[in-house]
Structures are given as structure tokens and as C-alpha cells.
Amino acid sequence: MKLKEVALSLSWDGVKERFLELYEDQTENIEGYEYVFVQICTVESVPFDMVLYCDLATHETDPFIDEGEEWFNVYGRDGSYCEFAPEHLETFGLSFTPWDQWSDMEVDEGSRKKLSDTDIICHCLWEMTFYGFDQEKICEQLDELNERVQEAKDYPERLIPAEEVFKRIKDKLGNFDLEES
């Protein structure tokens, strides 16, 4: 089932109620989430060959997550394998994906078995708006990010290694433990 079809099967009132349970601190932004929900339901979908997944991320599933922390991970897969770990399917972040492509994504059946459609839509709304509630501004941020990546490729001599950055911070702040902050 496409994300648009999932959204169309739900009412905004039900999504809103659940969204505010999941993301309690987002009350002041709820009109923005409603706007994006309506966009998913009404936008003309653009074909996008990506399957949408939504699952719980924990320390057990991702060693980069601190023990005791967890959140829902929304990502895409297109069937390609990871260059650095060929036994694993590649996963793609979707935050910068245009909303008309989000609406066309097939929602993974396994995700739909583990989570309610309402929860999937809520987590998708969170991911879709990570960089804002305006597609134009989100595209501007992506353009800026791409410009910085290109600049780093064009002028690698301007890059400062992380070890040097940490040393400079330690020199300025003294015996400051980055792990505790």
C-alpha cells in the first residue's frame, strides 16, 4: 500500500491525537503537521522506486544508539546493497525527499504488521518535517548541504580533521569530557 493510500484511510483527528501522544512537545507545530498530512493526501504523486520502512531503533539494532535510548527510524530501501557491507541492503534517509515522492512510496508490509497505520503516518510526518514545514525551505537546505559537500571535495585542504577540532576544544575548555555533555 502506498503512503498516500495509508494516509487517505485515516482521519486527521485520529492522527493528530496519536501524534501528540508520540511527540508531546510538538503541540505548537500541530498545524504544520496537519498541512503536511493534507499534502500527502492531495498531492499528485510522483513515481519513486523506494520502499518505506518504519521500525524501532535501539542500541541492540544500532550500536551508535546509547543504551536505554530508542526512537522510530523511518528510511527507504530500493533493493540495492550497501557498498561497505555487501551482505546488507542499503538504507536511505528520506528527510529531504519531496513530499510528492513520499506519497508514492510503498509502505513495507513488515512495518505495517509491527505498527499501526496511524503510528506509521505519525513517524513519517516527523521525518518529513525534520527540516521544516515548507518544501521550498527544505530544498534550500538541501542545496546548501550539497554546496558544502562540493566545497569540501573541491578544497580538501580547508578541512580540519576531527582530532584537531577536539584538541582545540579541549585546549579552550580545559579537561572537558565530550562524552558527558
51 sits in which H/E element: strand 51-58
Buried b (16+ CB within 10 A) or exposed e, 83-105: eeeeeeebeeebeebbbbbbbbb
**Residue reference for cell 527510524:** 73
- What integer best gives the mean pLDDT of the chain? 91
Reduce the DSSP state of residue 92 to 3 states and report it: strand
What percent of the chain is predicted at pLDDT more than 70?
96
The pLDDT of residue 30: 98
State the helix-helix crossing angle for 117-128 and 30-42, rounded to 10 degrees.
Answer: 110
Q: What is the pLDDT of residues 44-60, one digit of tens each?
A: 999 999 999 999 988 88
Q: pTM of the predicted model, to two decimals? A: 0.82
The pLDDT of residue 83: 85
**What span, in angstroms and rounded, lies between the C-alpha atoms of 70 and 72?**
7
More confident position, 174 or 21: 21
Residues 2-8: what's their mean pLDDT?
98
The pLDDT of residue 86: 81
Q: What is the pLDDT of residues 86-130, one digit of tens each?
A: 888 899 999 999 999 999 999 999 999 999 999 999 999 999 999
State the helix-helix crossing angle for 12-22 and 117-128, rounded to 10 degrees.
Answer: 70
CB neighbours of residue 8 within 10 Å: 13
